[in-house]
Chain A
Amino acid sequence: MAMTDQAPRFVNRADQKLWFERIPAPWWALAVVLVFLPVVANSFWLFQVMGWTFILGMIGLSLMFLAGYGGMVSLLQMTVAGVAGYMVAILGTSGTVTVSLGLVWWIVIPAAFLIAALFATISGALAVRTEGIYTIMITLAIAAAFFYFTRQNYTIFNGYSGFNLVLPPQLFGVNWREPVPFYYLSLVLAALSYGAVVYVSRSPFGLALQGVRDNPRRMAALGFNVTAHRVAAYALASVFASAGGILLVWQNAQIAPGTIGMSAAIDVLVVAVVGGMRRPLGPFIGAFIYVLLQVFSPDILGFFGFSAERFKLIIGLGFLAVVLFSPDGVLGLWDRWRARRRQQGGQAGGGVA
Chain B
Amino acid sequence: MNAPVTPPRPVALGQSHVSAGNALELRGITKMFGALAAISDVTLSVRPGERRAVLGSNGAGKTTLFNCITGDFLPTTGLIRFFGEDVTTFPPHERIRRGLRRTYQISSLFAGLSVIDNVYLACRGVSRNRFSLIRPRRDDALVHAAETLVEAVHLTAEKDRLVGELAYGQQRQLEIALALSGAPRFILFDEPAAGLSPTERRDLVSILTTLPTHIGYIIIEHDMDVALRVVESVTMMHNGRIFKEGRPEEIEDDPEVQELYLGGGHE
Chain A contact residues, CB within 8 Å of chain B? 10, 15, 199-200, 202-208, 210-211, 213-215, 217-226, 228-229, 232, 236
> Which of B93, B102, B108, B112 sits near A224, CB closer than 8 Å?
B93
Interface flag for B92 (CB, 8 Å): yes
Chain B CB within 10 Å — which of A210, A213, A214 has the most?
A214
Q: Are A208 and B96 in contact (CB under 8 A)?
A: no
Given the contacts A202-B135, A222-B181, A224-B130, A214 and B112 also touching, CB distance less than 8 Å: yes
Q: Chain B residues with Cβ under 8 A from A15's Cβ?
A: 138
Q: Chain A residues with Cβ under 8 A from B178's Cβ?
A: 222
Nearest chain B CB to A339 CB, angstrom units: 15
Given the contacts A214-B111, A222-B178, A204 and B130 also touching, CB distance less than 8 Å: yes
Q: Are B135 and A224 in contact (CB under 8 A)?
A: no
Q: Chain A residues with Cβ under 8 A from B182's Cβ?
A: 223
Q: How far is the CA of A204 from the CA of B130 in the complex (A)?
A: 6
Q: Are B121 and A221 in contact (CB under 8 A)?
A: no
Interface flag for B91 (CB, 8 Å): yes
Closest to A214 in B: B110
Q: How far is the CA of A224 from the CA of B111 in the complex (A)?
A: 18
Q: How far is the CA of A202 from the CA of B117 in the complex (A)?
A: 9
Chain B contact residues, CB within 8 Å of chain A? 70, 72, 91-93, 96-97, 101-102, 104, 108-113, 117-118, 120-122, 124-126, 129-136, 138, 156, 178, 181-182
Q: Chain A residues with Cβ under 8 A from B122's Cβ?
A: 222
> Which of A10, A205, A214 sits near B132, CB closer than 8 Å?
A205
Majority DSSP secondary structure for residues of B touching A: loop
Q: Are B111 and A220 in contact (CB under 8 A)?
A: no
> Which of A10, A223, A229 sits near B126, CB closer than 8 Å?
A223
Q: Are A208 and B121 in contact (CB under 8 A)?
A: yes
Q: Are B113 and A218 in contact (CB under 8 A)?
A: no
Enumerate 26 A-B pairs (CB-CB under 8 Å) in ascending A order.
A10-B156, A203-B134, A205-B131, A207-B124, A210-B112, A210-B113, A211-B121, A213-B112, A214-B109, A214-B111, A217-B72, A217-B108, A218-B109, A218-B110, A220-B91, A220-B93, A220-B96, A221-B101, A222-B121, A223-B182, A224-B93, A224-B125, A224-B130, A229-B130, A229-B131, A236-B133
Closest to B147 in A: A10
Q: Chain B residues with Cβ under 8 A from A203's Cβ?
A: 132-136
Closest to B160 in A: A12
Given the contacts A204-B131, A204-B136, A223 and B125 also touching, CB distance less than 8 Å: yes
Given the contacts A204-B131, A223-B126, A214 and B93 also touching, CB distance less than 8 Å: no
Q: Chain B residues with Cβ under 8 A from A220's Cβ?
A: 72, 91-93, 96
Q: How far is the CA of A87 from the CA of B180 in the complex (A)?
A: 49
Q: How far is the CA of A293 from the CA of B231 in the complex (A)?
A: 67
Q: Chain B residues with Cβ under 8 A from A228's Cβ?
A: 131
Q: Chain A residues with Cβ under 8 A from B125's Cβ?
A: 208, 219, 222-224
Nearest chain A CB to B145 CB, angstrom units: 13
Q: Chain B residues with Cβ under 8 A from A217's Cβ?
A: 72, 108
Q: How far is the CA of A200 from the CA of B113 in the complex (A)?
A: 15
Q: Chain A residues with Cβ under 8 A from B111's Cβ?
A: 214-215
Nearest chain B CB to A154 CB, angstrom units: 40
Q: Are B133 and A205 in contact (CB under 8 A)?
A: yes
Given the contacts A222-B96, A222-B126, A222-B178, A232 and B113 also touching, CB distance less than 8 Å: no
Closest to B131 in A: A205
What 9 A-B pairs come out closest when comparing CB atoms? A223-B125, A222-B125, A223-B96, A214-B110, A220-B92, A223-B126, A204-B132, A218-B108, A223-B97
Q: Chain B residues with Cβ under 8 A from A213's Cβ?
A: 112
Q: Are A215 and B108 in contact (CB under 8 A)?
A: yes
Nearest chain B CB to A325 CB, angstrom units: 22
Nearest chain A CB to B192 CB, angstrom units: 15
Q: Chain B residues with Cβ under 8 A from A207's Cβ?
A: 113, 117, 120-121, 124
Q: Are B129 and A204 in contact (CB under 8 A)?
A: yes
Q: How far is the CA of A222 from the CA of B126 in the complex (A)?
A: 7
